[in-house]
Amino acid sequence: MMLRPLLYKDLNESQKELRRKSLDFIGYSVLFSQLTALVYVCIYANFLRRGAVRRLEWRLRHRILGGKTPIRGKVQSVGAAVVYWSWAGLMVWLCVKDVDHDYLHLTKAFGMAAAASLPLNVLLGMKYSPLKLVFPNCSYEGPVNVVHQWLGNQMYLLLTVHACLYLKFFWDTSRMKTRLLETDVLCGVCAFGIMTMLVTSSHPLVRKSFYSVFYNLHIILSVLLPPLLYFHVSHSRPYMIPTVGMLIVDRVLRVMFTVSTTATISLDPQSSILDISVSFPHKPPPSAGSHVLLNVPSLSLWTKNPFTVVESGNGHVRMVARVRGNLTKKLTKLTKVPINIEGGYGGHGVSKELVGGVDRVLLIAGGIGGAFTLPWARYLKANGVDARFLWAVPKVGDLLWAGDGVALAEVYITGGHRNGEGGCGDEEGMELLDAGSPRDALSIPPLRFGSGRPDVRRAVREVVGREGRVLVMVCGPDLMAEDVKNAVRSHALTGRNVTLHMEAFGH
């Protein structure tokens, strides 16, 4: 490897040419590694994910970091750590392996590895990513998006090393005042500044509190990054051109799949849940169970919030939204409003694909998470699939929007917790509810009425206990999803044929 000591070598033209070739090879190696990883994941997901391999995967999902609360995108499990640090190790190895004591080789290598990672990262972040066709059963904010976050962080680390090494070089060779003012270096500095803003705004703390800041910065700044890197160094160009192409395709598709229409909104007087009915006069509406991004131009030109289609048909879709913050609070004051609606996203609007070959399904929902599970419950019932549906809500009023759908569920009234139980994330709007809403407020009785939290461990045990292939789907608060995951895990480790699908309404 011949790393130390690192020297500022004075190379002749042919040596520079050799270094250039070696640096280009790093870029190709990054691309080749990405392609190999994608093919492997595809083969794994479709052919290898069974038996002992599947048990090993469940073992690797064991959480080692981050306390009780799962944080999406954080490297918290053994498996995530293995994947994250193996990839980081591979990138560092590619950067250092041919350094031969050449300081500038090492410096440029980190920049090259980062530049070559950009196209894949854009591909992973695209709303209409072709990768979502390869992995259709991933949830909206699922693994594809998580890998996008990991790769973004690693690119930033590579760029940070690249920038620091260059600054040291400029300092040591007294070029701080000259090189930093030249266009190519200025472009690099600006690109690094942009990456800093993107990574900072993507941090869970910022994303959670200032989602629209994160969202808008991502949309605007991600477009500036490729041109800046294009003008920074010529050898990054082969990676920037496809990146720009993908960004353009994604934006064009997003515009094409955006429908401008009208929403009719009503607020249930007994709950803080909005009923949103949207007409699709000219295009087929997105299917039930898929997700859409909703923009209300009269309230905000840019902001788009995701919601789930509960019912779809006859040129209409229906959604329900818990009143929480900015947009939903403003919507309570409106009855009819022009909107832009984009989607549907998420590989599963209800369809056979996810439940093909499955003998039994257990659906578990917390609060407004019923917006995702109810369409599934209806679909499974209509198709004669053996399904059980547990639905925990703080109060009876939270079920009213479901109408006759309640008859499919075993309902649990948890009594209204303020720490995010019984709904997806915070349940801020609960003060609008009457904690003692009578159960006869429901026009149709549920299959079962319980109080307190459902015993998800027992429910999973009962459904997995019998022979056959089982699918467990959960959409609820993070801790509920974590409980379900742990319950499923313990059975998967004993060799039971059980698959888990977690749908998150979080961040």
Interface with ligand FAD by CB under 6 A: which residues?
140-141, 208, 211, 215, 291, 304-308, 319-322, 324-328, 368, 371, 424, 505, 507
CB–CB of 354/503 below 8 Å? no
Residue 190: alpha-carbon gap to chain centroid: 27
Helix/strand/coil percent split, the chain, to 5: 55, 15, 30
**Smallest gap, in angstroms, from Cβ of residue 460 to ligand FAD?**
24
Q: State both tokens at 204.
A: 């869970």
Residue closer to ligand FAD, measured from CB, 313 or 325: 325
Residue closer to ligand FAD, measured from CB, 320 or 488: 320
In 3D, which of 305, 301, 134 has the Cα closest to residue 220? 301
Residue closer to ligand FAD, measured from CB, 344 or 454: 344
Residue with tokens 């477009």, as numbered in its chain = 223
Residue closer to ligand FAD, measured from CB, 64 or 255: 255
| Cα distances (angstroms) measured from residue 103 to each of 5, 113, 165, 167, 170 | 9, 16, 8, 12, 12
Question: Phi then psi for 147, rounded to 5 degrees?
Answer: -65, -35
Rounded distance between C-alpha atoms, residue 485 and residue 146, angstroms: 18
| Termini Cα distance of the chain | 42
| Cα distances (angstroms) measured from residue 342 to each of 96, 127, 256, 294, 354 | 45, 10, 9, 7, 23
**Smallest gap, in angstroms, from Cβ of residue 330 to ligand FAD?**
7
**Smallest gap, in angstroms, from Cβ of residue 84 to ligand FAD?**
23
Q: State yes or no: cis peptide before 143, omega within 30 of 0.
A: no
Residue closer to ligand FAD, measured from CB, 154 or 373: 373
- Amino acid at site 129: S
- Amino acid at site 56: L
In 3D, which of 202, 49, 24, 199 has the Cα closest to residue 116? 24
Residue closer to ligand FAD, measured from CB, 160 or 300: 300
Rounded distance between C-alpha atoms, residue 169 and residue 176, angstroms: 9
Residue closer to ligand FAD, measured from CB, 325 or 495: 325
Residue closer to ligand FAD, measured from CB, 178 or 326: 326
**Smallest gap, in angstroms, from Cβ of residue 321 to ligand FAD?**
4
SS3 73: coil
CB–CB of 116/32 below 8 Å? no
Q: State both tokens at 21.
A: 């070739």
**Smallest gap, in angstroms, from Cβ of residue 256 to ligand FAD?**
19
**Smallest gap, in angstroms, from Cβ of residue 237 to ligand FAD?**
32
The most distant pair of C-alpha atoms in the chain lies apart, rounded to whole Å, by 87
**Smallest gap, in angstroms, from Cβ of residue 403 to ligand FAD?**
16
Rounded distance between C-alpha atoms, residue 166 and residue 189, angstroms: 11
Residue closer to ligand FAD, measured from CB, 48 or 213: 213
**Smallest gap, in angstroms, from Cβ of residue 201 to ligand FAD?**
12
**Smallest gap, in angstroms, from Cβ of residue 128 to ligand FAD?**
15
**Smallest gap, in angstroms, from Cβ of residue 278 to ligand FAD?**
13
Residues composing the chain:
507
**Smallest gap, in angstroms, from Cβ of residue 382 to ligand FAD?**
21
Residue nearest to ligand FAD (CB): 325
**Smallest gap, in angstroms, from Cβ of residue 300 to ligand FAD?**
8
**Smallest gap, in angstroms, from Cβ of residue 309 to ligand FAD?**
8
Residue closer to ligand FAD, measured from CB, 276 or 411: 276
Strand stretches in 346-433, DSSP E: 360-366, 386-393, 410-413
Residue closer to ligand FAD, measured from CB, 121 or 308: 308
Residue closer to ligand FAD, measured from CB, 140 or 257: 140
In 3D, which of 329, 288, 280 has the Cα closest to residue 308? 288
Residue closer to ligand FAD, measured from CB, 188 or 375: 375
Q: State yes or no: cis peptide before 344, omega within 30 of 0.
A: yes
**H helical segments located in 335-477:** 352-355, 370-382, 456-465
**H helical segments located in 233-333:** 237-256, 326-331
